[in-house]
Chains A and B, each alone.
Chain A
Amino acid sequence: MNVLEIKQLTKKFGEFIAVDNLSLSIKEGEIFGFLGANGAGKSTTINMIASLLRITKGEIQILGKSISQNAKFAKSNIGIVPQEIAIYEDMTAYENVHFFAGMFGLRGSELKARTIEALEFVGLGDKHSSYPKNFSGGMKRRLNIACAIAHRPKLLIMDEPTVGIDPHSRNYILGSVKKLNQMGCTIIYTSHYMEEVEEICTRIAIIDHGKIIAEGTKKELKAIVTNQKNIWIEVRSAEQLDIGKLQKVAGVNKVEIEDRILKFSSDAEVNNLNRIIQLLMADHIEIRSVEEREPNLEMVFLTLTGRSLRD
C-alpha cells in the first residue's frame, strides 16, 4: 500500500517553477531518502506534503486520500521534523511534547502516556522538567523529533534532522529512525550527509530543478554509474605531478588531487591503470597505494546533476 502518492505536482512562486510536474510514490514501511541540492525543490515538495504550502497543480494522496479534500485526515497521519528546531524554549520538554501532541487530538491519560513515551524514545526520559534553553544542540534535535512522533504518525517527514550535532546524538537519531521504521512508521528522510542516506534509506529519489531525475534503491542508483570506475592513487608527494599528461590517458574523464590522493574517474571498460602508473613512475613519483573504489551515492549525484550535494 502506498502511504504517499504524488501525481504531477507543480508549485509556482510567481513565474518561478519550484516543483515541476513531479510524481512519486512511497510504500508503507519504507525509509525514503530525498536528495537534492539547495533550491532543488526538495523542501517545497515536503512543505506541500505537510500542507504548509498550497499546491499549484497536481495531487498529493496520503493513505489513498487526497490532502486537498481531506486535509485534517492527512495532517493527522503525518509527523514533521523540521530542519530548524521548532520548540518553545520557555516551556519544559514535557510541556512541548504535550502541547504539540495535544494538537493531534490526544487527550487525558493517553496524551500523558504518549508524551512520556516519546521523550523516552528519544532519550530525554529524565529531562521532563528541564527547559530546552539549557539543552545541547543534540538534545534539542531529539526533542524536535519527540514533538513529531508522540501522536504516532503513519508518515514521518524528517528534514535534515542531524544538522550540526555531535556524533553521539547523530548515531542516536539514526538508530531512532531505524527503530521507528521497525515499529511501522514510513519515513521520508532528507540529508546532506550521503553516508546517512546510504546507511538507512531503502529507496532514494534525486531531485534537481524541481524534477525527479533518478529514483530507486541504492543498488539501482549505483548501477547508473557502473560504466564509470574510480581509481584513487595515494602518492608520497604530488609537487612534480603533471596532471595534463594524466588527463590525456585513454578513458580518463577527470583527475583531481586531494591531499596527496589522485582521484581518477574513468570509463569502466578501458584498462588504463598500467598506463597511469607508468606515467607516474616516469615522473619519479612514489606510489603508496592504489585502490579501485565502488560507486557511491555522492558519485551518482555528481554524475546526474553535475554538482556536489553540498554546492
Chain B
Amino acid sequence: MNVWRIALKEIKAIRDIKTIVFLIVTPILTILILGSVLTNTFNGSKTVGDIRVLYKIKSSESELAKSWDAFADQAGKNGMVLEPANENTDGKLEVANNRYVGYVEISDSGLNYYGNSSSPVESGIAQGMITAFANRYKLAAAAGNSDQAVLLSGNRSPDFVRETSLDTARQPRALDYYAIAMVTLIIMYSALPAAELISSERKRNTTVRLLASPITKAEIFAGKVVGNLLLNVICTIIVVLICKYMFNVYWGEHLGLVFLVLITEIVFALSIGLGFSYTIKGKAAGSVIMMIIQVGAFLGGSYFPVTEMTGVMGTIAQFSPLEWSNTAILQIIYGDGWYAAVKAMLLNLGLSVFLLSAAAIIMRRREGL
C-alpha cells in the first residue's frame, strides 16, 4: 500500500508543466519537425504511368522473334506496352519526340535499346525489363531447348533464374520513422530524471520524513520506480496515440507488442538512471548517462536511419539500446517478425535487473537512502 502511495505521488508530477513539456510536447514537436523536413529523404516511391516502347524486328531468327512476342505479351500485363514499328518508322525519332520512352531494334547481332532521357525512370524500367529478357534468352539458349520452352512460356525456372523482390512492401515515411525514433529517444532521456529520483528527495530533505516513517527502504525504492515507470508509460501512450490519430503515423497491426517493447525500454531507462546514480559518485552520473544517450542515439538511428552500418561501426551500433529498440519496433511494424522484439525486450529487462539490483544493494548498505 505504501509503495502505491509513493508511486501515486510520483505520478502527480504529470501536473507539472515541465513534465508535460519534456515527456509529451517535446517528442511530438520533434516528430513533426523531422517528419516534415525530411519527407523527401524517405520518399522512395514515384508514380509511373504506362510505359510505351517501340520495337522493330530485323532478325531472321524465328526463335528470337517467337520469344520476343511471348515477352511482349507478358510485359503488356505488367504495364509496359511494346508496339511494333512500321518499316518506314524512324524509332529513334519517335523517342526523341517523346512519343515513346524507348525504342528496341532486334537484329541478328542482338538487341539495341534507345532510351528517352527526358523520362529516365520509365526508360530505366523498360531497359531493365528488356535486359532481363535478353539475359534470359541467352541463358535459355545455353541451357537447351527443353528448358528454353519453359522459359519462353513465361514461367520461371528456379534452376536458372533467381529473382529477388525489390519491393515493395510498406515502407516508413519520414513521419512514421521519426515517430518511432523520437519516442524511443525521449524514453531513453528519462534516464536523466531517473538519476535524480532519490537525490531529489535528499535535496528536499524529505528522505528524513520518509525514513522516519514506518516503511522500509525497499518500499520507498519500489514506490519511486513504479511511480516513474507508470508516469513514463502514460506519457508514452499519449504521444503514440496523438501521433496515430492526429498525424496518421503508422504503428502497424501489433500496437500491443510495440507498447511492450517501449515499456521494457522505459524500465531500462529508469534502471540506467537509478543504477548509475548509485554506482557513480558525485554528479558525474548525469554526464555519463547523457554521453551514453547521445552516442546511443547516433548509432541507434535516432537522428537518421542507419540501416546498413557495417564493420566496426556496425558492431558498436549493436550495443546501442536505441538501435535494438528501434529495430525491434520497425520489424514489428514493417517486417512482421518478432525476433528483434524478443531480443530487445530480453536485453532491456535483463540489463534492468542487473542495474536495479546493483542500486538496491548499494542503497541497502548505505545509511539513509
A binding-site residues for B, Cβ under 8 Å: 50-54, 71-73, 75-76, 78, 80, 82, 84-91, 95, 99-100, 102-105, 147-148
SS class, residues of chain A in contact with chain B: loop
Closest 9 CB pairs of A and B: A103-B213, A86-B205, A75-B214, A84-B205, A72-B214, A50-B212, A82-B208, A80-B212, A76-B214
Chain B residues with CB below 8 A from A104, complex form? 213-214
User: In the complex, how many angstroms separate the beta carbon of B223 from the nearest chain A beta carbon?
Assistant: 10
In the complex, the number of residue pairs spanning A and B with C-beta atoms less than 8 Å apart equals 66
Chain B residues 180-212 with CB under 8 Å of chain A are 204-206, 208-212
If A72-B214, A76-B214 touch, whether A52 touches B15 (CB-CB below 8 Å) is no
Task: Give the complex CA separation of A72 and B2 in angstroms.
Answer: 14
Q: A84-B205, A87-B204, A103-B214 are in contact. List 17 more A-B contacts (CB 8 A).
A: A52-B367, A72-B214, A75-B214, A80-B208, A80-B209, A80-B212, A86-B206, A86-B208, A86-B209, A87-B206, A90-B12, A91-B12, A100-B209, A100-B213, A102-B2, A103-B2, A103-B215
B13 close to A (CB within 8 Å): yes
If A75-B212, A75-B213 touch, whether A53 touches B367 (CB-CB below 8 Å) is yes
Chain B residues with CB below 8 A from A100, complex form? 209, 213
Chain A residues with CB below 8 A from B211, complex form? 50-52
Query: Does the CB pair A51–B212 fall under 8 Å?
Result: yes
Chain B residues with CB below 8 A from A50, complex form? 208, 211-212
Query: Does the CB pair B210–A90 fall under 8 Å?
Result: no
Chain B residues 1-44 with CB under 8 Å of chain A are 2, 5, 9, 12-13, 15-16
Chain B residues with CB below 8 A from A54, complex form? 367
Most chain-A Cβ atoms within 10 A of its Cβ — which of B9, B210, B215?
A: B9
Query: Does the CB pair A103–B206 fall under 8 Å?
Result: no
User: In the complex, how many angstroms separate the beta carbon of A240 from the nearest chain B beta carbon?
Assistant: 53
Query: Does the CB pair A90–B214 fall under 8 Å?
Result: no
Chain B residues with CB below 8 A from A89, complex form? 204
Chain B residues with CB below 8 A from A85, complex form? 205
B368 close to A (CB within 8 Å): yes
User: In the complex, how many angstroms separate the beta carbon of A219 from the nearest chain B beta carbon?
Assistant: 33
Chain B residues with CB below 8 A from A52, complex form? 208, 211-212, 367-368
Q: Of B2, B206, B212, B214, which is within 8 A of A88 by CB? A: B206
User: In the complex, how many angstroms separate the beta carbon of A76 from the nearest chain B beta carbon?
Assistant: 5
Task: Give the complex CA separation of A104 and B205 in angstroms.
Answer: 18
Chain B residues with CB below 8 A from A95, complex form? 12
Task: Give the complex CA separation of A51 and B209 in angstroms.
Answer: 11
User: In the complex, how many angstroms separate the beta carbon of A152 from the nearest chain B beta carbon?
Assistant: 14
Chain A residues with CB below 8 A from B204, complex form? 86-89
Q: Of A73, A76, A103, which is within 8 A of B210 by CB? A: A103
User: In the complex, how many angstroms separate the beta carbon of B247 from the nearest chain A beta carbon?
Assistant: 31
Chain B residues with CB below 8 A from A88, complex form? 9, 204, 206
Chain A residues with CB below 8 A from B214, complex form? 71-73, 75-76, 103-105
Give 25 CB contacts A-B under 8 Å. A51-B211, A51-B212, A80-B209, A82-B205, A84-B208, A85-B205, A86-B204, A86-B206, A86-B209, A90-B12, A90-B13, A90-B15, A91-B9, A95-B12, A99-B5, A100-B209, A100-B213, A102-B5, A103-B2, A103-B5, A103-B209, A103-B210, A104-B214, A147-B209, A148-B209
Task: Give the complex CA separation of A50 and B5 in angstroms.
Answer: 22
Task: Give the complex CA separation of A212 and B291 in angstroms.
Answer: 52
Which chain B residue shows the least CB distance to A82?
B208
Task: Give the complex CA separation of A265 and B2 in angstroms.
Answer: 58
Task: Give the complex CA separation of A170 and B147 in angstroms.
Answer: 104
Task: Give the complex CA separation of A206 and B41 in angstroms.
Answer: 76
User: In the complex, how many angstroms separate the beta carbon of B110 from the nearest chain A beta carbon?
Assistant: 80
Chain B residues with CB below 8 A from A80, complex form? 208-209, 212
Chain A residues with CB below 8 A from B2, complex form? 102-103
Chain B residues with CB below 8 A from A51, complex form? 211-212
Query: Does the CB pair A78–B209 fall under 8 Å?
Result: no
